[in-house]
Amino acid sequence: MINFILKNPEIVEGIGETKDKKGNELKKGNIRIWTKYFDTLSGISSFKDNLGLVMNLGSGSLPAEHVVLFTAFINNGLDEIWSPEELLNADSKKAIDHLKSVIKDGSNRRQDIAAIVSKRLLNYSTHYKDKFTDKMVSAYGDIMESGYLSQDLLILSLKKICTFPKFNRLAMRPDLIKLLTL
């Protein structure tokens, strides 16, 4: 659900204007209500298969336009983006194949999803740096070299995490060295 909040920050931050062009009041969400809503949804195995229930659970406590945004998020399959932990603990090829399936290539590329995954991996690596195994560091390097992450956030990530001893070896990978020298 973090992916949804990162993709739609306006639901908790607001959007500047208080009324739209038609005079409708624009609402800002309450993060506590979102947290309770997501806790309620945690027992549902497939949001897409239970979309009616997902909508009903949100309709009583969240603004209608937010529930619509969340259902669009589900319909686009974005609720299935793997967490950083899943990406880093999976076989690198499987993790990259998953990124390819959600981010896509060429004119269908979803830069918004690439940015979300990039931010989540950076946040995860800086927060849990002491829990990273050698395999996880190697997997992160493979994911960085895959070309699916957002390049500007990838450069920022490298500059931040390469200051941690465990991640120093990423700066020795030829493809990543090129990024660091941009």
What is the percent of the chain with per-residue pLDDT over 70, rounded to a whole number? 90
Rounded Cα distance between 88 and 121, Å, is 9
pLDDT per residue over 12-48, tens digit each?
766 555 555 666 665 666 788 888 999 999 999 899 9
DSSP one-letter string for the chain: -HHHHHH-THHHH--S-SB-TTSPBPP---HHHHHHHHHHHTT-S-TGGGHHHHHHHHHTTS-HHHHHHHHHHHHTTGGGPPPHHHHHHS-HHHHHHHHHHHH-SGGG--HHHHHHHHHHHHHHHHHSGGG--HHHHHHHHHHHHTT-S-HHHHHHHHHHHTTSGGGGGGGGSHHHHHHHT-
Rounded Cα distance between 56 and 59, Å, is 5
> What's the pLDDT score for residue 80?
85
What predicted TM-score, i.e. pTM, was given to this entire model?
Answer: 0.77
pLDDT per residue over 157-169, tens digit each?
999 998 999 999 9
> What's the pLDDT score for residue 95?
97
Number of Cβ atoms within 10 Å of the Cβ of 100: 13
Average pLDDT of the residues in 143-170: 91
